Amino acid sequence: MSGAPTIWALIPIKASGQGKSRLADKLSEPERDALVDAMLHHVVNAAGKATKLARTILVGPSRHGLDADIPLIGDRGYGLNDALENALGEIACAKERPDRLIVIAADLPCVTSLDLDLLAEAPAKAVAIAPDRHGTGTNALSLPLPEAAGFRFYYGTDSAAHHREEAERLGLNVETILSAGLEKDIDEPSDLVDAGQVYTIER
């Protein structure tokens, strides 16, 4: 009898000073950096508490103060999609690769460990997509390995639709995961009401 599948989380991060530029009218650069760090730490903590996740890996230029025992895959500087494809390729080729990889955005202040366990429970050989509150962006992906080792990322405009098409290109079924914790990212000033879960904006 085979054991339970091994599932890892992959969290992409940006360099300090490069995150949340659309909040510049509401928050100063130090405030934006503090918010980014608070959300990242929250997502990493949620991943650490998820019962079905065996490991969390970061991809980006730095750890943002996170523990050195969390693996970090470097960013080659060609954008988010390239960084994720490079990290996926490295993980999929690892000797002890996981059976599933969950790619989770770092700006989800309401996400919980239960949300991440829900992504981990996607059916075998199926890609699970967690869209943003608008239904067009992608806040998390759950990728089966090795079936999705060649998955191409399309973060940007209408990424949820593009990621669905990519799963279909690989011959994989697609599941949509809807939850308040996964859909609430912080991109626009109107989203800041949800940021209060992890960061206090003093005015």
pLDDT per residue as tens digits for the range 67-109: 889 999 998 888 999 999 999 999 999 989 999 999 999 999 9
For the chain, state the CA radius of gyration.
16
Taking CA atoms, 120 is separated from 31, 52, 172, in Å, by 33, 7, 16
Give the pLDDT confidence score for residue 195 in this predicted structure: 87
Give the pLDDT confidence score for residue 1 in this predicted structure: 38
Give the pLDDT confidence score for residue 202 in this predicted structure: 62
Q: Which CATH class is domain 7-195?
A: alpha beta
Distance of alpha carbon 151 from alpha carbon 158, whole angstroms = 17
Statement: residue 19 has pLDDT above 80? no
Distance of alpha carbon 185 from alpha carbon 122, whole angstroms = 22
pTM: 0.93
Express as a percent the part of the chain with pLDDT over 90.
Answer: 71
pLDDT tens-digit map of 156-193: 999 999 999 999 999 999 999 999 999 999 988 889 99
pLDDT band at 2 (very low <50, low <70, confident <90, very high): low
Nearest to 10 by CA among 42, 53, 51: 53
pLDDT band at 201 (very low <50, low <70, confident <90, very high): low
